[in-house]
Structure 1
Amino acid sequence: MNVQKINSLNGKVAVVTGAASGIGKATAMALAERGAKVVIADVAEDAGEATAQEINDKIGSHVAIFQKTNVTKYKEYIALFQRTEKEFGGVDIVHLNAGTAKGGYISALQDLDDEQDEFAMNVNTMGVIKGTKVAILHLAKRGGGVILTTASTAGFDPDFNLAAYCASKHAVIGWTRSMDFLPQIANIRINAICPGGVATNFGNALLDDMCNLPLFGSAGGASLIPMTNIDTVVKAALKCIEDESLHGQTVLALPGDVIRIQPRPDLIAENGSPELTELYMKVVGENIDYYKSVLQKSLEKYDNSTKTEAEI
């Protein structure tokens, strides 16, 4: 899969969550190298500010800013996108990358703790859902754009030790694949990258947890786990962003620099109901104008509410 050349994103503005380190930082740097302005969103203030400065120093101009953002809160997403519009004039690319595995290890057997059990789902899943909804409003004002979510190969594979994390990433894939008609409604594409294990702080923390399992660590299990190079993940991200033929797709980023689209199951067709598939597509297709009217009402309500808050 070829990625377009440097400067392919001149004039574009990107928001990247979880961008103070790891995949988010690497993607933000790649976007800036291709000519985009980038907004680094993260809860880690020092690391986020340092990342923005590192990008500006490398590019040699003011192309990056940092905005502290808790992705579980609509209010902070709204502040993030409004700051982006104020600084750079609009938003074209959104990478909803922030994620966590905190509180999710062997979760089915752990203490009954509301905060712990909800944390990963709130960050990984609700962070994507809320981020998508706010992004749609801002991208629609711009005339369209692209949203990228970070899922995982754990969004396809079960793992007893990481059951809560797997559930959160399954949900991200389901949400992303359900956005089929966004291009017709608002000229917005949404895709998901699904990396295997990556040697970032995040990935290493998961490995550390696994190495605490009896027998696994002592048997050298960590050395048997194939890791995906972060450059491969960035290539997959750029492919999703720059390839306008991709929407509602899940793109795997695997060891050995393998990037491929994971086919979507068509269970209705497999169950021998082509008539139902045809009817569904017809009904949804004929409702595009209705969806557009719903979006327009949401835009008007959003604009009115944000203007009122700005006046207070």
Structure 2
Amino acid sequence: MERLTNLSRSISGRVAIITGAASGMGRATARLFADEGARVVVADLGQQRVDAVVDEILAVHGADSALGVVTDVSDARQLEHLVARTVEWGGRLDIVVNNAGISVINSPFQDAEEFESSWAQTLDVNLTAHARLVRLALPHLIESGGGRIVNIASTEALVSTAGLGAYAATKAGVIGLTQSLAVELGRHGITVNAICPGPIATPMTAAIDEESKATYARRRVPLRRYGDPEEVAHMTLNLCLPASSFVNGAHIPVDGGMSIRHT
């Protein structure tokens, strides 16, 4: 059928690395990208967890639709291996989704030993790993001719919760890194954007009891519920479409309106 528009909304045939892809938003993103025809590299900790997501994708989309690479994103050598293995398998690299992250809940700011430990670990996983992976992937993204980078930040970069100093600082850093890279890499046709999820039903929020979640959603979220990981995944997909080629340096809340609510 003849179309009236020119820009493609397909990522079919693209090769994408998704970190933290064994659960939550990362798993939802890997599944969605595979549904849309991309070849997906599932990167996360734990062989069994990685294999479970890869097997889900292979069962629906067939051989060579997904590859699992066990990766600790805080380890620079493992990130090097991730990129090398991806290109060896896929022959190219078009999309990087920096989704892996940790949150050390209620780390006491006054406790020097606890602060130093949680700060260093959170910085390594939530921010330094993003920069490292982009740097390692960059030659391949340039070769792709329209590479896409999506960094998963958080609404904690926009509004604050006590006890999450390290997490909030790294997520604000993700937005700053995103903006800087968007300016620097734009000349290569690469777009760099960030998503700021709000309260999402993931393993990171699983420890919160359901009553507390419901109360929070009623009080703080205009849509009066927690989000589903797939709702974040669809925004990630949108930013990776060829049709989104003029969206660059943005940070987009996916939070049901939480971050704009005043009362």
TM-score of the pair, normalised by structure 2: 0.85
CA drift of 1:11 comes to 1.4
Residues 182 and 193, structure 2, Cα contact 8 Å, conserved in 1: no
Give matches, 1:1-312, under 5 Å.
8-102=10-104, 104-113=105-114, 114-205=116-207, 207=208, 221-226=212-217, 227-242=226-241, 243-255=244-256
CA drift of 1:106 comes to 3.5
Deviations 1:136-163 (A, max 9, x none): 2321233340011110111111211212
Which amino acid is the alignment partner of residue 230 of structure 1?
Answer: P
CA distance in 2, matches of 1:109, 1:115: 13
Deviations 1:103-142 (A, max 9, x none): x523313351433331111111111111121122321233
Other structure's SS at 1:179 match? helix
Change (3 A) 1:86 1:99: same
Alignment RMSD:
2.3
Q: Which runs of 5 or more structure 2 residues have no equivalent in the other structure?
A: 1-7, 218-225
Which amino acid is the alignment partner of residue 32 of structure 2?
Answer: A
Higher relative contact order (CA 8 A, sep 6+): 2
Which amino acid is the alignment partner of residue 77 of structure 2?
Answer: K
Residues 236 and 259, structure 1, Cα contact 8 Å, conserved in 2: no
Residues 107 and 117, structure 1, Cα contact 8 Å, conserved in 2: no
Change (3 A) 1:16 1:244: same
CA distance in 2, matches of 1:236, 1:252: 10
CA drift of 1:259 comes to 11
Which amino acid is the alignment partner of residue 224 of structure 1?
Answer: T
CA distance in 2, matches of 1:259, 1:232: 15
Residues 35 and 61, structure 2, Cα contact 8 Å, conserved in 1: yes
Deviations 1:257-290 (A, max 9, x none): x699x9xxxxxxxxxxxxxxxxxxxxxxxxxxxx
Aligned length in residues: 242
Aligned residue in 2 for 1:295? none
Other structure's SS at 1:109 match? coil
Q: Which runs of 5 or more structure 1 residues have no equivalent in the other structure?
A: 1-5, 212-219, 263-312
Other structure's SS at 2:171 match? helix
Deviations 1:233-260 (A, max 9, x none): 11211121122121111011123xx699
CA drift of 1:45 comes to 1.5
Deviations 1:14-50 (A, max 9, x none): 0000001110010011111111000000112211011
Residues 180 and 248, structure 1, Cα contact 8 Å, conserved in 2: yes
Which amino acid is the alignment partner of residue 159 of structure 1?
Answer: T
Change (3 A) 1:163 1:259: closer
Residues 118 and 166, structure 2, Cα contact 8 Å, conserved in 1: no
Residues 179 and 250, structure 2, Cα contact 8 Å, conserved in 1: yes
